[in-house]
Structure 1
Amino acid sequence: MQITPAKDIKSERGTYLIYGPPGMGKTTSIKHLPGKTLVLDVDRTSRVLKGEDHIDIVYVSNTATWDEWGSIILELEKNYQGVYENIVVDNISELERCLLSDLGSKGKNKGVPSQADYQYMQFRVVNSLRYMKSLGANVIWTAWEMDDLFTDSSGQQWNRSFPQLNRKILNNVLGLCDVVGKLAVNTDGERGFVLSSTNSTYAKNQIDDRKGCLQSELILKQEVEANADDQSEGEKV
């Protein structure tokens, strides 16, 4: 075993999942990410990023999604490690549907995905996140929002907000993320992220002690600079 003292752990890039209803401003939030950013546009909403000179965009096929997505992940790992400070998937809810639709179109159920297709999709999504976490960049996934009715052991019920992901892999994906933020609007009309979980909202923040932040402060500039310094020190060693 290679043992690393906790005091020697360097700053690392973070893995973020931000979610909210369509049109709330998830894609607009990408404008505020500090550093060079690559957006993998699945749902075709990147037009709101027009004119941003620190952002590059790759349009992911909505039809031949299965093969193209696999090729993109492998190309990122092979040719783009350390090139971008941030890599964004916009959005994972639509990516799931596109993967299933493509698989279903190749099957024998008149376009309807089979049970096996759902399992293929689930493994591809989770494995994609694992791969992307090794690219030397902040990984940001956006998702739409869904609600469910939760009942605790005492019988009390309340509605909870979650990212819209397949239920079979929901906990797996959320567990692999350092930050899960729900996009909301406060009483002053400012958009920001809820980073602290409640009975009605799933959220978490394992990077710092903030319970919420403005839309423009999801990733702080000093965090990107600190990560860059750590990467430079590693290259020197």
Structure 2
Amino acid sequence: MEILNGKDLKLRRQTVLLYGAPGTGKTTALGALPGRTLIIDVDRGADVLMGNERVDIVRLDPEMKNMKDVLGELEKECVYDNVCLDSLSELERGLLTFLGRTGKNGGAPELAHYNQVQFKMVDTCRRLRVLPANIVLTAWEEYKEVVAVDGTKFTQTRPMMSGKTAENICGLCDIVGEVVISPKDANRYIRLEAQATLVAKDRFFKRQFCTPESLLVQEEKKDA
């Protein structure tokens, strides 16, 4: 059994979930990550990175069957600084659609299919996060009505995934942030401060917000 002392721990890689409304630039933000980046392009939106030589793209087939092969190749050898999956929301929908087509519910997903997809989604994130690279996941956003313990009702902005999938995946991530475009300067920012009305966190650095370029903090910056 290996026991590590806290003073010997070093920040080597980070697992991040970025979510936001369509058009806020989630995919564009992936192109701003430092180093060499691989994007697993689920929703076929990576064309916005045309001309970016630091980015490689692998596209999943419509039935998502080659995800297993992609993960297997990365587990054998990962030469990238960042591995991104864009997006979890479309991955979930694609898996449910395929299972619905092959099921017995007239093309609609069955209850058992949601449980299967939740397991596959979380398992995929677990396999990604042990790679020797930063992992950046994206998702669309949704608004959910929440009732607090005291009965107060409010609307929460959160990643768009069904059931407990969002909670499970957010729990695996070090950083969860909402991508927004500021009405003041038209620049893109990532909101990182958790609020009752916003699912977000920054486990390591406790930032309120950051830019896409400064999302992944390097170890030497942490010690500065």
TM norm. shorter chain > 0.5: yes
- Superposed counterparts of 1:1-237, under 5 Å: 1-62=1-62, 64-65=63-64, 67-78=65-76, 80-81=77-78, 83-186=79-182, 187-220=184-217, 222-223=218-219
Normalization by structure 1: what TM-score?
A: 0.88
3-state SS of paired residue (1:144): strand
- For 1:173 and 1:126, locate their aligned partners in 2 and report how far apart those are by CA, in whole Å: 6
Structure 1 residues not aligned, in runs of 5+: 227-237
Normalising by structure 2, we get a TM-score of 0.93
RMSD (Å), alpha carbons = 1.5
Contact 2:193–2:206 (Cα < 8 Å) also in 1: no
- Residue identity in the other structure for 2:25: G
- Which string of whole-angstrom CA distances, capped at 9 and with x for unpartnered residues, describes residues 134-186 of structure 1? 11010000000011112212222211100001222221111000000001122
Counterpart-to-counterpart distance in 2, 1:124 and 1:76? 17
Aligned residues of 2:33 and 2:212 also touching (Cα < 8 A): no
> Which is helix-richer, 1 or 2?
1
Which consecutive residues of structure 2, in runs of 5 or more, have no partner in the other structure? none
> Which of structure 1's runs of 4+ aligned residues deviate more than 6 A?
none
Report if the CA contact (8 A) 1:145-1:162 is conserved.
Answer: yes
* Helix, strand or coil at the partner of 2:61: coil
- Given that 1:192 and 1:214 are in contact with CA atoms closer than 8 Å, whether structure 2 keeps it comes out as yes
For residues 216 and 13 of structure 1, the distance between their equivalents in structure 2, rounded to whole angstroms, comes to: 16
State the distance in 2 between where 1:126 and 1:153 align. 28
Deviation digits for residues 211-231 of structure 1 (CA, Å, limit 9, x no counterpart): 1111322124x44x88xxxxx
